[in-house]
Amino acid sequence: MDKLKMKSVDLTQVNIDKIAQLFPNVITEVKDEKGRLKKAVDFALLRQELSEDLVEGDKERYQLTWPGKKKAILHANSPIDKTLRPVKEDSVDWDNTQNLYIEGDNLEVLKLLQESYLNKVKCIYIDPPYNTGKDFIYKDDFRQATDEYLEESGQVDEDGNRMFQNNESNGRFHSDWLTMMYPRLKLARNLLRDDGVIFISIDDNEVDNLLKICDEVFGKGNFVGNIVWKKKTNGNNMGHIPPVHDYICVYSRNKEQITDLGYPISNEFVEKNYSNPDNDPRGPWTTMDLSANHKGPYFQIVNPNTGEEHWPPEGRYWVFNEEEVKKRIQDGRIIFGKSGNARPVQKTFLKDKEFRKIKAESWWDNHGLNEDGTEDIKKIFGISKLFIHPKPIKTVQNIVNIATSTDKDSIIFDLFSGSATTAHAVMQINAKDGGSRKYIMVQLPEPTAEDSETFKAGYRNICEIGKERIRRAAKKIKEETDADIDYGFRVFRVDSSNMEDVYYTPDKLEQEGLFSLESNIKEDRTSDDLIVQVMLECGLELSLPMEKRDIEGCAVHFVAGNSLVACFDKQVPEKVIRAIAIEQPLRVVFRDSTFESDDDRINLEEIFKMVSPGTEIKVI
């Protein structure tokens, strides 16, 4: 039986394994600082393999670089010894919901979800700090802060992660922002499906840099578009040319795989664009030009009713040949206007139009304003200044609709959840079209200022606002629509690993410490904590059904039926082991300390060989 690592995936080793598949000859072994052998890349050989296209030495080339870029790549790839802990008391309908709300640094969350949500997310929305010189950005230093001053002065959040105000006077003003964004985008890309898209809100301060790092992370060929979003009606007192817009940059995982990006077809759209004035038995229709500007048939079309002759407009050609035109005129699919010398056009019937969407345009002039976002919050909480610059529900609804109009069972991921507008928007869309979209919200529990309306209303951090908004919005939507949708959400919180340090570095434990250490699991952690960390390592979605049964006095966890079964009791009787084996789980997990001797381990393996030979056995 194997031992679980109980840490996030090491992406450096994953990348080495990918290189090994292409160039096995460049993989070698080196010793780490503890003298253990590990895989490494012989870069001299790799350069030789790629010598035809390699840019070597100090040759000039087009590239984006900044102080801290290598550190950003390192942050993206390095594993962390952290986990997500369930917070059932803050959750709604824990047993049935498939929605998630996660409190913590979004980079850590992305690391922890790499296995469980790899290639599973249809739409990611990011509304990051705009780097205006006034807002706070993340400082990705995962070492535990010990300076009490930092905590008291608000320079670290409740999880011990540093944050700082990135003023323009800082010599690394743009570099710090890029270093913060790069690893998040890099890891977010891994979660997107092949047909997945990411929408990123930004303003003039960093839009140029954002497009450059997205070109690098997603590939320039996967640029979908840059939306100009009008966020306010006027910009008085805001400079010579007042900025009344922001941008929403859109990229895809693989643009060639996208087939359904656009707004859903509505009844209003049909009524506006299609009619049937001549009671055509084929139903509502509209007209389209009969000519095109590409090379094609060029001949004279005669109106059979008036004898009028028509040639294609200058520089254009007919889209059909002469025989097809005559056939379509006879069939009533090509018609002539009633006005004098009206040119021929073709009828296009709604029933023949196999479209499922309306393409989104890059200019959003009537898609929600900043003031609408404030009003949305006021309607929910009764306080207009509870949250600064919340995104309007209408704006986020457009984003979700564009990405999921024909995929109503997909996952929407918001990395900078803020006031949880995205969760609100997803519920509203599901209530309207009967969809079952799921959301994952991630937000750092940034403390609210003590002199703010938010603090006075009793909300001590942003996560408290987001969770309460979802609860209130869900109640309001249910009252207004009575729609049969998922109104709940599971809450998880980033925390240190459930395992003691000795689990990861047993060689550092001194002999006198052996007798005081009864378990490699922290005393304040429950079996519910442990099952979540095991799910993350096994790559199981956190929305899967989770059940805890009592079997012969032991607490046994079942995830998604028999996909994962685990018992973390210190002593597990043979009766319980046999009962678990009868369930024929795909994988089973026990505590390592459950087995007092090698005979106990052998006995367990023999039981599963006889009863459930396909089960994968793991220990922690």
What is the mean pLDDT of the segment spanning 343-362?
81
> How far apart are alpha carbons 272 and 445 in whole angstroms?
46
| More confidently predicted of 528 and 513 | 528
pLDDT tens profile 50-62: 765 555 555 666 7
**Range with the largest mean pLDDT of 131-135, 333-337, 340-344, 354-358:** 333-337
Taking residues 481-486, report their average pLDDT. Answer: 97
Residue 133: what residue type?
A: G
What φ, ψ does residue 222 adopt, rounded to 5°?
Answer: -100, 15
Per-residue confidence band for 473, with pLDDT thresholds at 50, 70 and 90: very high
Cα separation of 377 and 419, whole Å? 8
Q: Tell me how far apart the alpha carbons of residues 589 and 567 are, in angstroms, rounded to a whole number.
A: 7
More confident residue, 66 or 548: 548
The whole-number pLDDT of residue 516 equals 47
Q: Is the pLDDT of residue 482 over 90?
A: yes
Identify whether the C-beta of residue 431 lies closer than 8 Å to the C-beta of residue 289: no
Over range 309-313, report the average pLDDT: 91
What does 136-180 look like in DSSP terms, one character per residue? EEE----SPP--HHHHHTTSB-TTS-BEEE--TTSTTHHHHHHHH
pLDDT at 153 over 50: no
pLDDT of amino acid 518: 61
pLDDT in tens, 216-252: 999 999 999 999 999 998 876 667 888 899 999 999 9
Taking alpha carbons only, the member of 182, 250, 180 closest to residue 217 is 182
How confident is the model over 436-458, as a mean pLDDT? 93
Q: Identify the burial level of 309 via C-beta atoms within 10 angstroms of its C-beta, where 0-12 means exposed, 13-18 middle and 19 or more buried.
A: exposed
Which range, of 106-110, 371-375, 518-522, averages the lowest pLDDT?
A: 518-522
pLDDT on residue 17? 85
Which tokens belong to 574?
């043979």
Give residue 389's identity as a one-letter amino acid code: H
What percentage of the chain exceeds 90 in pLDDT? 62
Give the residue-averaged pLDDT of 552-557: 96
Contact 500, 520 (CB under 8 A): yes
The pLDDT of residue 95 is above 60: yes
Q: Which CATH superfamily is domain 77-265+358-494 in?
A: Vaccinia Virus protein VP39 (3.40.50.150)
23 CB neighbour count, 10 Å cutoff: 15
pLDDT-derived band at 150 (thresholds 50, 70, 90) equals very low
Give residue 46's pLDDT band: very low, low, confident or very high (50, 70, 90): confident
* Cβ(227)–Cβ(362) below 8 Å: yes
Q: Does residue 155 surpass a pLDDT of 50?
A: no
Angstrom distances, CA of residue 551 to CA of 558, 565, 582, 583: 12, 12, 12, 12
Longest pairwise C-alpha distance within the chain: 107
Q: What pLDDT, on a 0 to 100 scale, did the predictor assign at position 467?
A: 98
Q: How long, in residues, is the chain?
A: 620
pLDDT of residue 169: 60
Residue 250: name the closest of 227, 284, 217 by CA: 227
C-alpha to C-alpha distance for 9 and 513, rounded to whole angstroms = 29
In one-letter notation, the amino acid at residue 435 is G
Q: What average pLDDT does the segment 62-79 reach? A: 85
What's at 362, amino acid-wise?
A: S
How much is the average pLDDT of 551-577? 96
pLDDT for the residue 490: 98
Residues 590-601 have pLDDT tens digits of 999 888 888 999
- pLDDT confidence tier of residue 168, bands split at 50, 70 and 90: low
Amino acid identity at 457: A
Across residues 80-89, what is the average pLDDT? 96
Distance CA 385, CA 249 (A): 28
Looking at per-residue confidence, does 253 or 49 come out higher? 253
Could you report how far apart the first and last alpha carbons of the chain are, in Å?
10
CA angle 102, 106, 108 (to 5 degrees): 95
Give counts: helices (H), strands (E), the chain.
19, 29
Average pLDDT over residues 54-72: 73
319 HSE (CA, 13 A, CB side): 11
pLDDT of residue 417: 97
- Give pLDDT, residue 352: 78
Instruction: Write down the domain spans for the chain.
Output: 2-57, 77-265+358-494, 270-349, 519-619
Cα(44)–Cα(547) distance, rounded to whole angstroms? 52
Residues facing 248 on adjacent strands: 201, 227
Mean pLDDT confidence for 558-574: 96
| Cβ atoms < 10 Å from Cβ of 103 | 29
Q: Of the given ranges (65-69, 170-174, 245-249), which has the lowest mean pLDDT?
A: 170-174
Q: Find the mean pLDDT for residues 116-129.
A: 97
Residue 179 has pLDDT above 60, yes or no: yes
Determine the pLDDT at residue 435. 96
Across all residues in the chain, what is the average pLDDT?
A: 87
356 has a pLDDT exceeding 80: no
